Structure 1
Amino acid sequence: MTVLTKGKVKTCKQLLDEFTCTTENPEKVIFSGIGDKDVYNITAPFEDEGQLVIAGRVESRNSEQSQVFFFVKQNNEWVPRVGAPVLELQDPFFTKIAGELVLGGVQTFPHPTNEGALGWRTVLYKGPSISGLQEFAKGPDGMKDLRLIELMDGRIGVLTRPQGEKGGRGKIGWTRIPSLSDLSLDVMNEAPLLGGQFIDEQWGGANEAHLLENGLVGVLGHIASFDQEGNRHYYPMVFALNPETGEFSDIKLIATRSHFLPGQAKRPDLEDVVFSGGIVRNTDGTAVFYAGISDAEAQRITITDPFLQYEG
């Protein structure tokens, strides 16, 4: 298996300074049938019962109260799938494990000690299809960006993102379990951190995991920072992880907000936010990258397949 080498931790500014990328065909992903609400932080399209489906975060511009809808394409627009469940979640994601669909998102709830604030946790569902999804696990309170992947040997890789005492503003952890039935709060809380990815003033997380041809895990994620005015800056990035040894490669950016079309933002401090949704890898060396833009809309662009470099 490829040996991964890693340098020193890099800041957002350093990653931007060394970033070069060719992007093509920026395009807004248009949704209808949900009134005047925004759809953002979408998944890449995936097949379910013979149809391509996108899961997306749906909410009003002035609210954080979100639902996840499942959309299908009609006349170049994505519309809610008739009869599909609507989940009380934010920021959906999916994978396939042991032939089943595994889908998750972030559930918010009144914070137990901080009056007027919200807490959050990741909730996971599985089933033969969207119509058969059943909840099977909850992540620790305060943890977003929990992701799962089925490895070549059938075991399950678990990417975590603790905050607070262990993870600061947010760092990525990694562990393996024999099967989904072994997923527990202890497993998620105790996953070792991938050290040296983020300085303490910045943060990041995993958004989607891909099993590469050589058995490595290609991770699509984000790295983020505040500027001096308190504005947020989110950049989509990738790295590769050796599931056996826990070694991982340097983070590399794959796009910035300027590569996408102009659009609206939920708030002024969110204008420079690109939230990684998913990547569809093509056979010609390119990939289509789907993202949430400025917490207000969804777009996609064509990029060089960022995981090819790890399969050589």
Structure 2
Amino acid sequence: MQPVTRPLRNDYAFEWSLSDDGTHLAYIRNADNGIHELHLVTVASASASASATDDVLHRGIMLSHPAFSRDGKTLFLTEGYLVSPTEPAATDPQRITAIDLATRTSRRLPNPGVTEITSPLDLGDGRLLFAASADFSMAGRDPRLHTMPFAGGPWSTLGPFTVPAGYLSATPSPDRVAPRKLALAWSKRQGGFGADWYTEISIAPLDGASPKPLTPDFPRPFYTAAAPTWAPDGRHLAFVLNLCPYVGCDLNIRSVVLVDTDAPRPKLAFLGHGGSPVFAPPPP
């Protein structure tokens, strides 16, 4: 093994993304004075020092959720402050930033008035998919899925997916042209104030039909799901089942499971203990 990034602070959970062809790695590094840096690494020529191939593309406040476009030409991320509706409008709200990797120029895409934006992803048809909530507070969260053209413009709400006072993220299936469906990770709260969250996994067609739950049969509060990851066939999905979602539980009690999402009644197959599953790409 050899490092491919510059040294990272161990008090900051950095975020990263790999291009579809595996040639470039983007990651966010916490620099000084509260400024975040977006770095781009050329993986094939990375050396142990990682200095010649590690460029700073962008600097800003609260950078997060880096993601490459499917053609590898654009990098998307969110940046800006989480601004509640009661704060002054002069405070810079969170937006999606698009960076052209050929010219290294950046564009900030419009925000029609939400306070939190997460996980911008390329749908493969000229649209971005992302989640947004009008209120980022624990009690007022109401995230929904939206789409927007790459160049910016009006937002469109996608599907009937709402998660009152929870979290929502979507992982598109890796179909060759455009995804047919989404793996939805959405969270609910157990109990009242101060209780922990648990996450469910559902599958939803991209045409907006109602989602199909994959994890409704497990006893609560003993299981929570995480890290949905598509196989290259766009049909099978792996994710992690945590035995206990509570703070202080043994985080090693985790099982990686696999499910055929096209089955009429999907069943989970146990693969092994562990976390963060990743499928190897198909051979060329």
Superposition TM-score, scaled by structure 2 size:
0.57
**Rounded Cα–Cα distance in structure 2 between residues aligned with 1:79 and 1:236:** 38
Residue-pair matches, total = 238
> Paired residue for 1:247?
209
**Rounded Cα–Cα distance in structure 1 between residues aligned with 2:98 and 2:49:** 23
Aligned mate of 2:55, from 83, 87, 95: 83
Question: How many percent identity over aligned positions?
Answer: 8
Equivalent pair of 1:221/1:237 in contact (CA under 8 Å):
yes
1:150 aligns to 2:123 (yes or no): yes
3-state SS in 1 of match to 2:229: strand
Aligned mate of 1:210, from 150, 173, 183: 173
Map 1:109-188; keep pairs closer than 5 Å. Answer: 113-114=86-87, 120-128=93-101, 132-140=104-112, 141-145=114-118, 147-151=120-124, 154-156=125-127, 158-164=129-135, 168-175=140-147, 179-181=149-151, 183-184=152-153, 187-188=154-155
Q: CA deviation at 1:169?
A: 1.3
Superposition TM-score, scaled by structure 1 size:
0.53
> Paired residue for 1:304?
258
The answer to which structure has the higher helix fraction is: 1
What is the Cα-based RMSD across aligned positions, in Å? 5.2
User: Bigger relative contact order, structure 1 or 2, given CA contacts below 8 A and separation 6+?
Assistant: 1
3-state SS in 1 of match to 2:212: coil
> Paired residue for 1:235?
199
Q: CA deviation at 1:250?
A: 2.5
Equivalent pair of 1:147/1:208 in contact (CA under 8 Å):
no
| CA spacing shift, 1:211–1:251, aligned 2, 3 Å | same
Equivalent pair of 2:142/2:162 in contact (CA under 8 Å):
no
**Rounded Cα–Cα distance in structure 2 between residues aligned with 1:57 and 1:252:** 35
**Rounded Cα–Cα distance in structure 2 between residues aligned with 1:98 and 1:137:** 19
Gaps of 5+ in 2: 267-284
3-state SS in 2 of match to 1:139: coil
**Rounded Cα–Cα distance in structure 2 between residues aligned with 1:251 and 1:78:** 46
**Rounded Cα–Cα distance in structure 1 between residues aligned with 2:106 and 2:179:** 29
Equivalent pair of 1:57/1:91 in contact (CA under 8 Å):
no
Equivalent pair of 2:235/2:261 in contact (CA under 8 Å):
no
